[in-house]
Chain A
Amino acid sequence: MSRFFATGSDSESEESSSADEITPKATGTTFNKNKEAFTTNLILCCPLRFRFEELTNIIKTIRNAMKIRDMSKCLEEFEQLYRAFLKSKTIVDKEGVPQFYIRLLADLEDYLNQLWEDKEGKKKMNKNNAKALSTLRQKIRKYNKDFETEIASYKENPEQSAEEEEKDDIGSASSKSDDDDDEGITAKSLMKKKPQEEEKKAPEASKFLKGAADEESESDDDEDSEDWGSDSVDSGGESEDNEGAAASLAVVFLKKAQDGDKQHEPKKDGRRKRHKKIEQVEEEVDEDGEAEEGGWEKVKGGVPLVKEKPKMFAKGTEINSAVVIKKLTEILQARGKKGTDRAAQIELLHALSGISNENNLGQGILVKIKFNIIASLYDYNTNLAAFMKPEMWKKCLECIDELLDILFENNNIFIGENIAEDSENLAISDQPFRVRGCILTLVERMDEEFTKIMQNTDPHSQEYVDNLKDEGRVCGIIDRLLQYLESKGSTEEVCRIYLRRIMHTYYKFDYKAHRRSLGLQGETKSEQDQEESEGEDSAIIMDRLCKFIYAKDRTDRIRTCAILCHIYHHALHSRWYQARDLMLMSHLQDNIQHADPPVQILYNRTMVQLGICAFRQGMIKDAHNALLDIQSSGRAKELLGQGLLMRNMQERNAEQEKIEKRRQVPFHMHINLELLECVYLVSAMLLEIPYMAAHEFDARRRMISKQFHHQLRVGERQPLLGPPESMREHVVAASKAMKMGDWRTCHSFIINEKMNSKVWDLFPETQCVREMLVRKIQEESLRTYLFTYSSVYDSISMETLSEMFELELPTVHSIISKMIINEELMASLDQPTQTVVMHRTEPTSLQNMALQLAEKLGGLVENNERVFDLKQGLNRHNFISNHLNLSFSHTDQKGGYQQKQNYQRGGYRNQNQSSY
């Protein structure tokens, strides 16, 4: 036989069970496909084998221990087994629980129970063993609960297992001795087993082309059972192969005749044996040394696999839509079941789509299949937290793109979630296609997957950049779907896709529009053309989309998100008033705490962006107010969804942490935290320093910004003050300068190389912001100066002030006037001489103290009255603790309450006056 055939037969041998019906088509490409198949096999096999081998080894030891009744050994090994099983969890998840494992569990339990009942034996047991027995019994009982169904199903056909049990030893012996020359038999037996298995659990044997061979193989059982028993060990790996190769099953039919041969004369056909040998060579490449398996294969028997074997079409079957649909449903039935290989399923679906395409079965079916391919791509990861592999992701994008292509090309396809399965119209006919499925959901899911991928990529790696490049495609898909839905979808769907679009737009700064607004045209003519052709400004898009949502949306959430994104976008582009008005109109501040966390994060982001916008516009107070909540908590990072705080690790468990991780905003959407803090601190400085200067003696002075004060204190605590390094130190140093009214130093601390590179250069209109800042610093320094040093001056010329602070005279004039009007500065302006004349109205320290005393006394009186009220309330004529009032007035105990009160008040006032 040619090598070609040999390979073919290899794949056939596996195929024979899994897909006996072969499509006549694939023949041409067989060879290549085969190659492909076994390279993938190779990859898939290795970890699987390794794990299972480990398991089987342990199981063998356990069985041995059982035989010699060594309970402690048993327990030890069982624990090891349990751990090994956990390790192989991923594979088990994919493959289903291996039968040999279940069998061991069942047997072990039976055995233990038996031992337990045997009181005599127990008595004879030594202490260690007895203890181990009881522990093990409890453990296995608990553990087996997880596998109840499997064990039950195993127990249903115990005779089979018993048979295998017997064979075990024989099998091991024979396979060991035969290792070298009997490979053929192993391989053969491998083939043998499949049909039988197939028969057992694929009742639809009618399709089974090898129906005739069935009896044969059954009869073979007796002779071969030792082999096939051992074979089932491999079943996990093999089935993988089967499915992996499913696409390439084309060859199989070629082999059928030979296959039949094989089964007719299983033992003696020397030629076949030779052929098998060749096959084996291939197999070795493929399966990584099947021969070795002999050692562990024998341990278990061939309990039928609970596995759906996908089948392709039989030769000669007329491929029409009905058949394809049937096939499709067949494949889909396996979906979600344990032990379904999802990768293989995807392959199958791809193959199916290829088939339907080649047969021109119409777009309906194609669309349907595409839907399912995408769905199973999403299904590939069972774990919600895991993200798609890059190749899967690429495939997914392609599929969606293709699907959209089809949908655009064919106007007569209706898709929708509410189209019932049976009212679908997939066949080519005059009627339009009707397909169940929702492309919007798929795209939304795709978007989420994209976010997930971005979340899980290291943001500082090249990989992140590469992944980010896909955003263009994602946006493209969303855009196309948007167009599609605008013509076909319901308003609700349009709202949803609009929101997706908005979500991809709102955080991006529109440099194009920015440049245009600055009046900068493209350097060259062509660039300008390109700019123009690139479409509308993001602002206009946002406006259009958001307004549609405001008008049409009925779910509150989408509207909330749209508003927030809209505000964010406005703020990002320095349209402060629009952003602020929208925020105020939305009244989101009142009820945002009831929203779900992602929306809250969005709200926080919006607030921060709003604050930064206000800062750029020079609205320091607004900026401060907007940022206060986020910054004062000290958890800005967490609140913006830009990272988890380590400190409350103990407060949340792993589950919560996972949830929180899923909420994180991808790195490219982050708001620079240092910028945020700097903006906040500078705003606080501009507000707080003049305020502090104005209220130096005020006992009730409150802090505007706690955080700023904290930073100041940290700065003060420094034993040695070097030149500022960090952003915070710069701000603290600047604040100190400002306190003295030294605006130049302050300016040089706030705006310098370091701060530029750290903060200010991050703004789009760097220059404007810097100019605004300088001006603010000058103004606030002037105010601080006047507050601090007004007591030193009798009068001061405004011209001098304007020189000192490099402000124009009118500005100085207006600032001073404002201060006078607000009664912050006790002075008057002398017009002819352009001077400020100070009035001494500030209380002296003695007066201040007297005021303080008066306040304290007020508190004292209040307290005292409270005591008195209490007494009064109790209606007890007790001693009234009145020695305090006595400092003001003499009250004897018999004095009435009313009179005393009057006394107190009067006395207290007099006291104040006298102490001035």
Chain B
Amino acid sequence: MASRKEAPSGKSLDSPVRQIQIEGLVRPHHQALQGSEVVQGVLLGLVVEDRLEITNCFPFPQHTEDDADFDEVQYQMEMMRSLRHVNIDHLHVGWYQSTFYGSFVSRALLDSQFSYQHAIEESVVLIYDPIKTAQGSLCLKAYRLTPKLMEICREKDFSADGLKKASVGYENMFEEVPIVIKNSHLINVLLWELEDKSTAADKHELLNLSSSTHLEKSLQMLMDRVDEMSQDIVKYNNYCRSLSKQQQQKHQYIQRRQQENAQRQSRGEPPLPEEDLSKMFKPPQPPPRMDTLLIASQLSTYCQTIKEFTSQNLGKLFMAEALQGTSSYS
């Protein structure tokens, strides 16, 4: 597999990084990737002009219960120092995470990406889907938070109004950065050799027609998200209702007070003292909207994956049909 170039998306990115170039070295290094556990690791590299070159990486160690006092920071520093000793780029430029069926949009991801981007402006998160890759299509994506979202995260204002002011929708939470994979010649040679050796079945994994398990899984997850979303909506709905009810009460109260004051005035009495309205009518706690936003974003990711998957599969199905047709004719 030669280096592949992702078509740069049409959007103009106003971030300092417009393109990511990944060394072929970076990818296949996790033994645990096929497992169901999510693995994470650190990306190392450097920024050249508007291009972020990722040249190496190392995984975070898997946590276990018994070494709870393991110092991660210490480990990272140690790791980077060691790498520098062997003359490898040791600049921290982001992190990577594995995912399954595209379920990566979560609060945790948001938070850690925010802290990365906050500290190292050019940092990215690489999302890698091992299952899909195993099926024959490489799935590697780089994301960054949009400046707007960065703004909100910095202010920690996740209320509905705050999100509205920042005009952040689910669609402009993350920006995808195009990826270019560049391999050294040595690796290219290796790949050629490997391709020669590999069997036909391995090569044509891509043409596998069975689709239902994948779709079912995706649907299942999509459904779960939809349920969550429903709950959130109901919560929000309740909040809106109680808010408006209170608003009404407040309004009535003010009116009553005004009337009374008017009467008192006409009788020449002093008006009633002002009371602290906000104390009397404590507005209900607005539900945080960020989670909803994330769910929406996740939903859209799912839809994207499913759409992609189905279109690919349809193509395969047509191809299979055509093949069958010709074989039956002959």
**Residues on A close to B: CB < 8 A?**
844-846, 849-850, 852-853, 856-857, 859-860, 863-864, 866-867, 870-871, 873-874, 878-879, 881, 883-884, 886-887, 890, 893, 911, 914-915
Contact = CB atoms under 8 A, between A and B. Distances in A.
A890 B172 CA distance: 12
B237 A866 contact: yes
26 contacts: A844-B212, A846-B216, A849-B219, A853-B222, A853-B226, A860-B230, A863-B234, A866-B237, A867-B240, A870-B241, A873-B244, A878-B161, A879-B161, A879-B163, A879-B164, A881-B160, A881-B233, A881-B236, A884-B296, A886-B169, A887-B170, A887-B296, A887-B300, A893-B164, A914-B307, A915-B219
B220 interface: yes
Q: How large is the interface on B (under 10, 10 to 19, 20 to 34, 35 or more residues)?
A: 35 or more
Interface in B179-232: 212, 215-216, 219-220, 222-223, 226-227, 229-230
Given A864-B233, A883-B169, A846 B244 contact: no
B230 A849 contact: no
B223 A884 contact: no
Contact of B226 (A857, A870, A874, A878): A857
Contacts of A914: 306-307, 310
The 5 closest A-B pairs by CB, nearest first: A879-B164, A883-B296, A863-B233, A887-B299, A849-B219
Interface in B232-290: 233-234, 236-237, 240-241, 244, 247, 289
Nearest to B213: A846
A778 to B, nearest CB: 38
B248 to A, nearest CB: 10
B161 to A, nearest CB: 6
Contact of A874 (B227, B234, B244, B293): B244
A680 to B, nearest CB: 37
A333 B292 CA distance: 88
Contacts, number: 86
Contacts of A849: 216, 219-220, 223
For the residues of B in contact with A, the DSSP-based class is helix
B230 A856 contact: yes
B231 to A, nearest CB: 9
Given A849-B220, A857-B226, 19 more contacts: A844-B212, A845-B216, A852-B223, A853-B223, A856-B230, A859-B230, A864-B233, A867-B236, A870-B240, A874-B244, A878-B160, A878-B164, A879-B160, A879-B163, A881-B160, A881-B236, A883-B293, A884-B229, A887-B300
Contacts of B306: 914-915
Contacts of A852: 223
Contacts of B212: 844, 846
Contact of A856 (B161, B167, B216, B223): B223
Contacts of A886: 169-171, 296, 300
A846 B310 contact: no
Contacts of A884: 229, 233, 292, 296
B303 interface: yes
Nearest to A860: B230
Nearest to A850: B219
A867 B296 contact: no
Given A853-B223, A860-B230, A883-B293, A890 B171 contact: yes
Contacts of B237: 863, 866-867, 870
Contacts of B234: 863
Contacts of B230: 856, 859-860, 863
B234 to A, nearest CB: 6
Contacts of A856: 223, 226-227, 230
Contacts of B299: 887
A107 to B, nearest CB: 67
A911 B244 CA distance: 34
B36 to A, nearest CB: 21
Nearest to A857: B226
A881 B289 contact: yes
A850 B220 CA distance: 9
A900 B327 CA distance: 49
B185 to A, nearest CB: 44
Contacts of B167: 893
B303 A887 contact: yes
Contacts of B293: 883
Nearest to B303: A887
A844 B210 CA distance: 14
A873 B241 CA distance: 11
A857 B247 CA distance: 31
A103 B4 CA distance: 119
A884 B298 CA distance: 11
B233 A860 contact: yes
A866 B244 CA distance: 14
A893 B171 CA distance: 13
Contacts of A857: 226
Contacts of B289: 881
A617 B96 CA distance: 73
B170 A871 contact: no
Contacts of A866: 237
B320 to A, nearest CB: 18
Given A856-B230, A860-B230, A883 B170 contact: yes
Interface string B157-178: 0001101100101110000000
Contacts of A853: 219, 222-223, 226
A883 B294 CA distance: 9
A445 B233 CA distance: 67
Nearest to B164: A879
B163 A867 contact: no
Which residue, of A850, A881, A893, A915, has the highest number of chain B Cβ atoms within 10 A? Answer: A881
B223 A860 contact: no
A867 B160 CA distance: 13
Contacts of B241: 870
B215 A846 contact: yes
A442 to B, nearest CB: 67
B262 to A, nearest CB: 27
Nearest to B225: A887
A884 B229 CA distance: 8
Contacts of B219: 846, 849-850, 853, 915
